[in-house]
Every structure is written in structure tokens, then in C-alpha cells.
Structure 1
Amino acid sequence: AMIRGTKSEEVIKVLEMIHFSKRKRVKEVTLDLSPTMMRIVRTAFPNATMTNDRFHVQKLFYEAIDELRITYRWMARDLENDEIQRCREQNMEYVPFRYANGDTRCFV
């Protein structure tokens, strides 16, 4: 069955219509990372283990990695700009740093 709404009090009220003996037999509930859903599960299914669904965990992980990627890209760009400026000031040709695979720091 589907319960409309996301207010924990309303959802809990509907779930409490299921006899407590049945609700306490629930062993695991998969949910998103919502504190509201966690409160519902803790209240309505006291013996259940809460498992965060894979999609939401992967999304958080991807967002964190993407933030790091962007930060490091800007750092590499700043470093390259500083090196270019230093070479100009010293009348030297700028030769970008290359990794063993041939990529530069600021590869696209």
C-alpha cells in the first residue's frame, strides 16, 4: 500500500493501524537518507535495521568526488598560470609539465 504525504506524524499514524506484533517482526527497511523516513522507521518498526538505498549513497559519493575534481582542476589551472607568468617574466619559453602518460596538469 502507498501512503500519501511525507509528514512523519501522518505516516506513523497510518502505519500504527498495523498491529504492533506484525510491525515488530519487520527486520529491515530500505530508505533514502531522509531524517523524516528514519524517524518513521524507528517509530513504526522498532526492531528493523535501516538500510540506506544504494542510489542515494552513490549520489552523495559522486557529488563529493565531483567537488574534489573541480577543486583540483582549478588548482592545476592556477599553478599553470603562475608558471606561465614566471616564464614570461624571465623571458623563457613555457613548457607545460607532463605526466608519464603524456597528459598535462590541465588536460580537458
Structure 2
Amino acid sequence: MVAQLLFLSEQRLIRLLNISDKLITKKKNCVQEITLDIANSLKLISKRCFPKVVQVTDRFHVQKLALDALQELRIKYRWKTMDA
């Protein structure tokens, strides 16, 4: 539920945190890991709702950033080679 919400208005954030406060602490401590995208919008929420959780960055977004950077380098060196 938490990981699916990407952008939250302030009211929605307050509502989500209030719901989280009502959850049984024992249940919240059972959550071990939350996968987030790279945006920082959910880090605060996940830490507040699940204090003992390990936050993991979504592999897809990390791979996409790496491939985009590699593509930029490839194009740069291709143009450099063509100009030489």
C-alpha cells in the first residue's frame, strides 16, 4: 500500500500517518523490507509507519539510470570517433 503511493498531498500524508498509528505495533514490526522507487517522497512515510524496516531501491529504476548513462557515453564517444 505505501509503496504504491508516489505523490501525496499534505492531507493524504497526514491521513496515511494517522492510519499507520492505529495499526498494531506488533504487526508493523513484522514488515522487514519495503521496495521504493528512487524518489524520496516515500522514505519518510515508510520510516514513520514501519520503523524497523529496511528500505530497498527498486532495481528497475537503478538499471534504467545506469543504462541511460551508458547510452550517453556511447553516443558521446561515437560522435568523437566520427569527428576524428
Instruction: Please classify the TM superposition score into its range, dividing by the shorter chain length.
Output: 0.7 to 0.9
Shift of 1:20: 2.6
1:46 aligns with 2:55: no
Matched, 1:6 2:11: no
Please, which of 32, 43, 57 is the counterpart of residue 27 of structure 1?
32
Q: CA deviation at 1:46?
A: 1.0
Deviation track 1:49-102 (CA, whole Å, cap 9, x = no partner) reads: 0111221111111111111111111111221xxxxxxxxxxxxxxxxxxxxxxx
Moved over 6 A (4+): 2-5
What letter corresponds to residue 52 of structure 2 in structure 1?
N
| TM superposition shift of 1:23 | 1.3
Structure 1 pair 4/50, CA: closer, same or farther in 2 (3 Å)? Answer: closer
Bigger relative CO (Cα 8 Å, ≥ 6 apart): 2
Larger radius of gyration: 1
CA drift of 1:4 comes to 6.2
Taking the aligned partners of 1:19 and 1:28, their CA distance within structure 2 comes to: 17
TM-score normalised by L of structure 2: 0.74
Corresponding residue number in structure 2 for 1:83: none
**More helix per residue: 1 or 2?**
2
**Alignment partner of 2:82: what SS?**
helix
Contact 2:6–2:41, Cα closer than 8 Å, also in 1? no
Hey, what does 1:57 align to over in structure 2?
62
Separation (CA, whole Å) in 1 of partners of 2:69 and 2:49: 33
Q: Secondary structure at the match of 1:16?
A: helix
Q: In 2, Cα distance between the equivalents of 1:56 and 1:5?
A: 14
